Structure 1
Amino acid sequence: MSAQSPDLLLAAKACSIRVICWDSSRSAYRVEGAQSSRWNPRNDDGDAMRLAAALKMSIDQGSDTVFAQHRTQGGFWINSPVISLKGRDRADAYREAICLCAIKVGERMP
């Protein structure tokens, strides 16, 4: 998933963030109503944590894997794929799991 992934627009939709445009000078989306005017949970730990908190995600880690999940109001779970931690930065893997779960949530919204 690249930093300017169109799929991240679905993640923004999932937590009601209004995206204005992509700001290439900051490698982030410009948004309204967020703590800062830029937003990129793919690269920013704080943005990823706020995304996970807004969606009340559970993040589970195995010995060498991580995945994120969100429980819907209907009681079923939306899960990210299981992300391998082998040979990669742990924080990056967590951000990826959070983003992929949020994208799935956004895909299911009207």
Structure 2
Amino acid sequence: MNDQQLLERAARAAGIGPILCYEKARNCLRIGDRKQYRLWRPLDDDGDALRLAVALLLDIEWWSSIQCVTVQRRGFGETIAWLGEESRSGALRRAITGVAAKIGITLP
């Protein structure tokens, strides 16, 4: 699954829309209408990722002893992210968006 599909499915899961388009250069979705839109960037923005996790009631568990995080929601499996020193927040954002996309796949 590429980033565009990941974002579109995650937005569907959270009821975020309407989606105008995917911006490859900024790796985000434009949300809203043509006159007034905002950028939605849960892969790059901590706030968008946290709001996504809260909206979907995701469980996040840190394992500092082995440097990983698990993100899950009952019935949709889990995503495990290994945390490097420089990319901890990036790994968490991608894990949150990945679980949201799994949820979005199941919706009509």
TM-score calculated relative to the size of structure 2: 0.81
Tell me which amino acid in the other structure corresponds to 2:4: S
State the match for 1:48 in structure 2.
49
Cα deviation, residue 88, structure 1: 4.4
- Map of 1:82-97 to 2, 5 A cutoff? 82-97=80-95
Whose relative contact order is higher, 1 or 2, with alpha carbons under 8 Å and at least 6 apart?
Answer: 2
Note if contact 1:23-1:30 (Cα within 8 Å) is conserved in structure 2.
yes
SS in 1 for 2:4: coil
Tell me which amino acid in the other structure corresponds to 2:29: Y
Query: Which residues of structure 1 form unaligned runs of 5+?
Result: 72-76
SS in 2 for 1:66: strand
Q: Give distance in 2, aligned partners of 1:58 and 1:69.
A: 5
Cα deviation, residue 8, structure 1: 1.2
Aligned residue-pair number: 102
SS in 2 for 1:98: helix
- Map of 1:6-17 to 2, 5 A cutoff? 6-17=5-16
Q: Give distance in 2, aligned partners of 1:44 and 1:38.
A: 10
Note if contact 2:73-2:99 (Cα within 8 Å) is conserved in structure 1.
yes
Question: CA 1:25–1:96 in 2, change beyond 3 Å: closer, same or farther?
Answer: closer
State the match for 2:59 in structure 1.
58
TM-score calculated relative to the size of structure 1: 0.79
State the match for 1:70 in structure 2.
73
SS in 2 for 1:41: coil
Give the superposed CA RMSD.
Answer: 2.2
Cα deviation, residue 89, structure 1: 1.4
Percentage of matched positions with identical amino acids: 35
Question: CA 1:104–1:37 in 2, change beyond 3 Å: closer, same or farther?
Answer: same
